[in-house]
Amino acid sequence: MNRFAHLLDRLSYQPARNGKLRLMTDYFRHTPDPERGYALAALTGSLSFRHAKPALIRDLATERVDPALFALSYDFVGDLSETVALLWTPDEIAHGSNHPPLLLSEVVEELARAGRNDLRKLLAGWLDALDETGRWALLKLITGALRVGVSARLARMAVAELGGVEVDAVEQVWHGLAPPYLALFAWLDGEGERPNAIDPAPFRPAMLAQPLDEKDFASLDPRDFCAEWKWDGVRLQVSAGRDERGHRLLRLYSRTGEDVTSAFPDLADTLGAIATNDFALDGELLVVREHRVQSFATLQQRLNRKTVTAKLLMEFPAHLRAYDLIARDGEDLRALPFVERRARLEHFVARADCVRLDISPLVEFEDWPSLAQARENPAEAGAGEDGAAVEGVMLKRRDSIYVAGRPTGPWFKWKRDPFNIDAVLMYAQRGHGKRSSFYSDYTFGVWREGTDGDELVPVGKAYFGFTDEELGRIDRYVRNNTIDRFGPVRVVGHDADRGLVFEVAFEGLNRSTRHKSGVAMRFPRISRIRWDKPPREADRIETLERLLPPN
């Protein structure tokens, strides 16, 4: 347990993605089974303990610490695990006992067996036996809230590096395995065969587009591109296949590879009915009512829900608007040119005849001025009543293959006015008046090239203007992800894999010598919260510099 706690502690203070990869790979290389397997399960969110609730932890803490002191400390620290780890007073007899070091595997396996009545004594004994860092890691583990800036995919990348294989090879077998992943590590260590539980419905890394500036058109030929609407929703991938027994299997994935099938059972069930053979679709998750696409604010009612009620399913029906067909009937289509994949997609959607699935229409244009007109008025350019849900246009080279990441040149996104950027939350302060107890004043930044690689630089500050429910959620995020303080200012964890992305709208941009970034925004406002977007995909300072007026 101490080794795992040390890993979590180092990961929480390591801002660089490659640094996190090195830490995890080194841990997996030098840690025996089954410890490393359970660590991988924890890092990928594959562990769940039914009876380990925050209320139980608070009750235990207030048995050892004065309740008033605990409440004040929790309000100041803002993180339950850290507060309890710091305040916990070990039982002198238990703490002085010469017990062998607590193992991560022991914790996981005991928690899996323990009933509700056993957990209280079990947890208290573990907290007595561990130091502050160990207690913090234990509580993070059992509550499922590690928050060390590691995504499930990044953890699987570290495992892939251990075995010198591509991460896609790990993804293909992942869903057929279970903790502590003994067969997986045996294969990666060269001591066993590749697990034969190939996932019939794997995630395929998404292809992303570059921002487009009007000056870029001079070097682009409109005859080389197709255009389609950029819908104001959430990127979604659908992957379907059959398991070894011939049973149909369908999964929905976020843009980063998180399995979100359980959050959208209405869409999964409907698409599952057409999954007679294997396929993989790339598209946009929307809410569609009476054949009309609803606003992003409406879609947010379905996002990040722990439980999906019948009322939610009825009032906010999920829908997939397909952009691309990237696999079909055992054939990987990603190496085909876009126009050929598009033709196959049109045929697929037409044959499916599914009420929750349609295809994103192409935008007709002859030259760049005509495309600009379509972008400014989507309703009259073919989007019709859905025009209000269009946030711009996408340009895709006719011959472009589908590759992971954001390659230069094949795909562009051209958002509609006003100016909008995706920025990362860096600092937070308490508000004023009725919101004085909430962290509601936010400083956000974009990426730039630094001396040691990419770094975030602040570009603006805005107050939060959404509902009290949303404010409460942001406030909890700030408290749970604070990594430092300067007076009343909290530094919120922000790096390529950890952080919260805001879509920021603003009316204009000016040069500024008073700001570290060299730019100042006019009337910035947070237009929405991008819970689905990883920080590495936020905008760069070069994007803002292109918006500056001429000197």
For 388, the 3-state DSSP assignment is helix
Q: Are 38 and 108 in contact (CB under 8 A)?
A: yes
For 193, the 3-state DSSP assignment is coil
List, in sequence order, every residue forming a beta bridge with 286; answer none if it has no partner: 319
Structure confidence at residue 98 (pLDDT): 62
Largest Cα separation within the chain, whole Å, is 82
pTM of the model: 0.67
Q: How far apart are CA 438 and CA 341, in angstroms?
A: 49
Q: How far apart are CA 175 and CA 184, in angstroms?
A: 11
CATH number for the domain formed by residue range(s) 210-415: 3.30.470.30
Q: Are 416 and 377 in contact (CB under 8 A)?
A: no
Q: How far apart are CA 477 and CA 334, in angstroms?
A: 37
Cis bond before residue 418 (omega within 30° of 0): yes
Sorted by where each begins, the domain ranges of the chain are 210-415, 419-545
Tens of each residue's pLDDT in the chain, 551 residues: 999 999 999 998 888 889 999 999 999 999 999 999 999 999 998 888 877 788 889 999 999 999 999 888 887 776 788 889 999 988 765 555 566 789 999 999 998 888 778 888 899 999 999 999 999 999 999 888 888 888 888 999 999 999 999 888 888 788 778 899 999 999 999 999 998 767 888 888 899 999 988 788 999 999 999 999 999 899 999 999 988 788 889 999 998 888 899 999 999 999 998 877 899 999 999 999 999 999 887 888 898 887 899 999 999 999 999 999 999 998 999 999 999 999 999 999 999 999 999 999 999 999 999 999 999 899 999 999 898 889 899 999 999 999 988 888 999 999 877 788 999 999 998 875 455 578 889 999 999 988 888 999 999 998 766 677 888 899 999 999 999 988 778 999 998 888 999 999 886 677 777 778 888 887 788 988 999 999 999 999 999 988 876 55
Burial 34-64 (b: 16+ CB within 10 A, else e): bbbbbbbbbbbebbebeebeeebbbebbbeb
Q: Where are the beta strands (DSSP E) in 453-537?
A: 453-463, 482-486, 489-492, 501-506, 508-511, 519-522, 525-530
Is domain 419-545 in CATH 3.10.20.30, yes or no? no
Token pair 């509580």 is at which residue?
139
Q: How far apart are CA 142 and CA 126, in angstroms?
A: 12
Tell me which amino acid residue 110 is.
E
Structure confidence at residue 106 (pLDDT): 93
Structure confidence at residue 94 (pLDDT): 54
Cis bond before residue 549 (omega within 30° of 0): no
Chain-centre distance for alpha carbon 495: 13
